[in-house]
Amino acid sequence: MGLVVHESSAKPISSEIIDAFREIPVSDIGHIQQFGFMDTGIRPTWRNVRMVGPAFTVRIPSMNSGVSREVVKRAKPGDVLVIDRGGDTEISCWGGVVALLAKVKGIEGLVADGAVNDVLEFEALEWPVFSRTVSALLGRPLGLEAEINTTVSCGGVAVSPGDLICADDDGVLVIRPWEVEELLRACQERFGHVPDIRQWIRDGKDLREYPNARQFFSEES
């Protein structure tokens, strides 16, 4: 197959919207949005992590490890790398050296539906990596064989170039570019003008008096 690079026609998402989504926990969005969440097998390799940015999509054959540096070369600062391994969860596609290269370039992080290695290095770099598995079994440098800037499958979700990836310890969400403004507005309307609920509870206040308390109680309560 060789290296196939498609032209992305995705409309860029503004930095203002990306920064706004950095302030919203993924599970808060889960109160509003029902679709686009990757399955729970895609987990962060270290804790207390947050990652938001446009998807840079890659499909890599399972044995090949020779294309990772080319991926870093072609991705832009702020991108989230999204890798489809075609179902392979045993052979690692990403390790500490290419993570360092990506970090230095300013790439936001990685989501791999497959295996990664050198997870302690990811944490030391404070570079977000989400994957399905961790494996010490490495691929081989088989040349530049991959497909870049195409719709891929990751965590049971179709991901296209330019989709917004929002990820933290609770999970990974894929948002289509044409959905971001409306979803951001809905999140801000629901959560942006209410007191912190945990502080409300610490202060001994009645949860029934909390703004938007209806989300915690059934109509019969």
* Across 120-135, average pLDDT: 98
Would you say 54 and 79 are in contact if contact means Cβ atoms under 8 Å apart? yes
Q: Following DSSP, what letter does each residue of 59-93 receive, concatenated?
A: E--TTB-TTHHHHHHHS-TT-EEEEE-TT--SSB-
Residue 168 lies in a domain: yes
**What is the structure's pLDDT at 125?**
98
Residue 151 lies in a domain: yes
Show the tokens assigned to 202: 């610490």
Residue 217 lies in a domain: no
pTM of this structure: 0.89
Alpha-carbon gap, residue 201 to 124, rounded angstroms: 35
* CA-to-CA dists, residue 142 to 133, 152, 207, angstroms: 22, 21, 59
Alpha-carbon gap, residue 41 to 63, rounded angstroms: 21
- Residue 94 confidence (pLDDT) above 50: yes
Say what angle helices 180-191 and 15-22 make with each other, to 10 degrees: 40
71: left (phi over 0), alpha (psi -120 to 50) or beta: alpha
Alpha-carbon gap, residue 119 to 137, rounded angstroms: 13
State the residue range of the domain holding 103.
3-190
Q: What's the CATH code of the domain at 140? A: 3.50.30.40
pLDDT tens column, 146-181: 899 999 999 999 999 999 999 999 999 999 999 999
Burial of 105 (0-12, 13-18, 19+ CB in 10 A): middle
Q: pLDDT averaged over the chain?
A: 90
* Across 128-134, average pLDDT: 98
**What is the structure's pLDDT at 200?**
77
Alpha-carbon gap, residue 216 to 21, rounded angstroms: 24
pLDDT tens column, 19-52: 999 999 999 999 899 999 999 999 999 999 999 9
Q: In the chain, how many domains are there?
A: 1
